[in-house]
Amino acid sequence: MQTLAEELGGAGAFDRFDGRPLASASIGQVHTARIGDDEVVVKVRRPAAVETVSRDLEILQSLAATASRHSELARGYDLVGIVQDFSRTLRAELDYLTEAANAERFARSFAGDPQVHIPVVYRTTTTPRVLTLERVHGMKIDDLQALDAAGIDRRELAVRATGVLCQMVFEDGLFHADPHPGNFFVAPDGSLAVIDFGMVGELTEPS
């Protein structure tokens, strides 16, 4: 794998590395691996991801500018500003060091809560194009059949998940900006593991 070779010298940086992707997306793909006895997941950015995203964003920016020149509605919605915000968010996702730092910030925020788990970042095998995280296991938060079979109180789980998101927004000012069910796992004891910190939002004090 080209990116892994360029960033870490190859799969030999891990004690075991599965070349078959566990998951795949437009920006990168995820592999399972081991570091010693630890199970990890390794996100590897696709070689041409930055160039492809940059081209697409340039097209969007051009379309937004054209629409704003010819449409009062587009100007009213500040279409150019929306595309600029979207561009900043997407470019930040391309740098896995940013995602690693986000995960560590969330881990510090929830360090005192045994009911919330944030995956550990393995810094020695993390670069701008490769991200290594502790692999978490559990039930998907929307797998109602599995939750019921495990005896999980769904009402209590909903309260816990809502509390996590409220703490992020109202107390920490740093929140997960992509909180879909695929990013939340439930352990047999009902605790939550949260993953995927490429896209976050941050609230600041008003100036």
The residues with which 17 forms a beta bridge, in sequence order, are 33
Cα–Cα dist 111/116, whole Å? 8
**141 vs 180: CA distance, rounded Å:** 9
Q: How far out from the chain centre does Cα 111 lie?
A: 19
Torsion sign (Cα): 66, 72, 78, 79: negative
Distance CA 50, CA 70 (A): 30
Please tell me the distance from the alpha carbon of residue 197 to that of residue 183, in angstroms, as a whole number. Answer: 9
Phi, psi dihedrals of residue 195, rounded to the nearest 5°? -130, 170
Active site residue 78: no
Give the active site residue among 18, 113, 143, 178: 178
| Residues 199/89, Cβ–Cβ less than 8 Å | yes
Nearest to 184 by CA among 163, 169, 204: 163
Best CA proximity match to 29, nearest among 19, 18, 21, 39:
21
Q: Catalytic residue numbers?
A: 178
